[in-house]
Amino acid sequence: MAIIFNPSKIERQELCDAFDRVDPDACAAASWFETTEDDPGRGMAREALAHGAEVVVVAGGDGTVRAVAEVLAGEDAVLGIIPQGTGNLLARNLEVPIGDTAAAIERALGTGERRIDIGWVDTGDGEERGFAVMVGFGLDAHMLVETDDDLKDKAGWLAYVAALGKAIAASDVVEFTLAIDDDDPQTLSGHTFIVGNCGTVQGGVALLPDAVLDDGRLDALVVSADGLIGWLDTVRSFVWDNGIRRFFANDDEAADAETATHLGGARMTVELPKPLPFEIDGEEAGEVRTFTVRVHAGALRVR
């Protein structure tokens, strides 16, 4: 077993103490790898595989988990997650215990596992990057850009709320072109476009209510809300139409609103009129003018 941890999120001794409460032999028997500012986990994951690790446990936030998952995609090693970040989005969607390190370790060392899909995104720079949760531009990306890192460390996901006003002001509605699978390109209008492999975020809000981790497709959301009335319509769509009402009505498909449209497919190509901030699994990824996403079905084994 290999343990890859982000020392800015949790110290090795604290992590080892938690392992000892679950399995006194696990800590000493494991190979340990520490991430760095220059490498959030890819190199460590490659080294773990080279050493023959059959189980790779990652302790960190979404960025660390994504980096390791990207390397493990298509490999035989199984991924275990000890969530230590702000969003912990993949862990949330896998129902991994959050805020209880020992419980997460118990899950990571257990026998239950499943295969999930991985998404790949090409932003035209010649390098495909993997994602386990979602990518996109607009409000989500602007919130990341505007979020104060010190406040994020102190207040967790509430720091994103503080950035929401700035993000809304910075998100202009644009017309962009979207091609899904083999269909002809269509022109859409919105300030936010999110493509995801899974869709539940903090607070249990399902941005992509149709998204399933192992269905061999990606789901997308276009948001075009403008002004208070538009945002109220969008919030109603998230919380009521695709949340409470859908749960009790047992509906199978996500409900659209005038300001929120849901789409899906195995491959999507987007062309924007101008470069916009982009995010990959909750991490800033610069600005993009065009990008293509595709799904790699069943690519990752997870606990």
Q: Go through the domains of the chain in sequence order and give each one's CATH number.
A: 2-112 (3.40.50.10330), 119-298 (2.60.200.40)
* 19: alpha, beta or left? (left if phi > 0; alpha if psi -120 to 50): alpha
Strand duo 78-83 + 283-302: pairing = parallel
Mean pLDDT, range 39-51, rounded to an integer? 97
pLDDT digits (tens, 9 = 90+) for 279-290: 898 788 889 999
Q: What is the enclosing helix (H) or strand (E) of 81?
A: strand 78-83
CA gap 223, 212 in Å, rounded: 20
User: Whole-model pTM?
Assistant: 0.82
Burial bucket for residue 172 (CB in 10 Å: 0-12, 13-18, 19+): exposed
Mean pLDDT of the chain: 83
Mean pLDDT, range 191-204, rounded to an integer? 81
Contact indicator for 90, 133 with CB cutoff of 8 Å: yes
